[in-house]
Amino acid sequence: MVKHIVCFKLKDNSEEKCIEAKNVLMSMVGKVPTAKEINVGIDFLHSDRSYDIILEVTLEDEKALEEYQNDEYHCNEVKPYMHSVRSASVAVDYKF
């Protein structure tokens, strides 16, 4: 199994914009077939080192991760939106 995690800092981290971003990320459920599980969380501490949103995607293996990265819905709907609203992001991918 592979876990794909991305943390986003938003340009506007108001509650409304965080919820909007969460909804866009969660819209992949049922539309991106290689994603076995998708979880999205919104930070509540808002410290200087906090990121605003976390995306956790569980996939079967590295091949499924590659397919996820190239998925039409992910690439044409979700990525462009997140790139437009983020000021920074970090990612990690690991096997478990």
Q: 3-state SS of the chain? A: CEEEEEEEEECCCCHHHHHHHHHHHHCCCCCCCCEEEEEEEECCCCCCCCCCEEEEEEECCHHHHHHHHHCHHHHHHHHHHHHHHEEEEEEEEEEC
User: Could you give the percent of the chain with pLDDT greater than 70?
Assistant: 100
pLDDT band at 29 (very low <50, low <70, confident <90, very high): very high
Are the beta carbons of 64 and 6 closer than 8 angstroms? no
Q: What is the pLDDT of residue 70?
A: 98
Q: Average pLDDT over the chain, rounded to whole?
A: 98
Q: Which of 13, 71, 75 is nearest to 45 (CA)?
A: 13
pLDDT band at 39 (very low <50, low <70, confident <90, very high): very high
What's the average model confidence in pLDDT over 44-53? 96
- Provide the domain count of the chain: 1
What's the average model confidence in pLDDT over 59-86? 98
What's the average model confidence in pLDDT over 31-40? 98
Q: Which of 89, 92, 80, 93 is nearest to 24 (CA)?
A: 80
Domain span holding position 23: 2-95
